[in-house]
Amino acid sequence: MYLLFNFFFLIFSLILGVRNVAYGLYEIKQNKNKAGGISFIVFCLITIIFCNITIWL
């Protein structure tokens, strides 16, 4: 049960990560906001990585 929850959490966080990166790239390309797009991507990826580390430990 515990492993199943971790697997679903990992899949869900990967989907969210892809969506966040896509929005960050949209922000960079369409709105010409490089600082905002890069900071959004970095902040979201660090948050997703940290959450996955804490779940798997």
pLDDT of residue 1: 81
- Do the beta carbons of residue 27 and residue 33 sit within 8 Å? yes
- Rounded to 10 deg, the angle between the 34-56 and 2-29 helix axes is 170
- Show the domain range for 43: 2-56
| Count of domains observed in the chain | 1
Model pLDDT for residues 1-57, shown as the tens digit of each residue: 889 999 999 999 999 999 999 999 999 999 999 999 999 999 999 999 999 999 988
pTM of the entire predicted model: 0.84
Q: Token digits for 38? A: 């890069």
pLDDT of residue 11: 96
pLDDT of residue 9: 94
What's the rounded Cα separation, in Å, for the pair 44 and 18? 10
- Do the beta carbons of residue 13 and residue 48 sit within 8 Å? yes
**Can you give the C-alpha Rg of the chain in angstroms?**
14
pLDDT of residue 18: 96
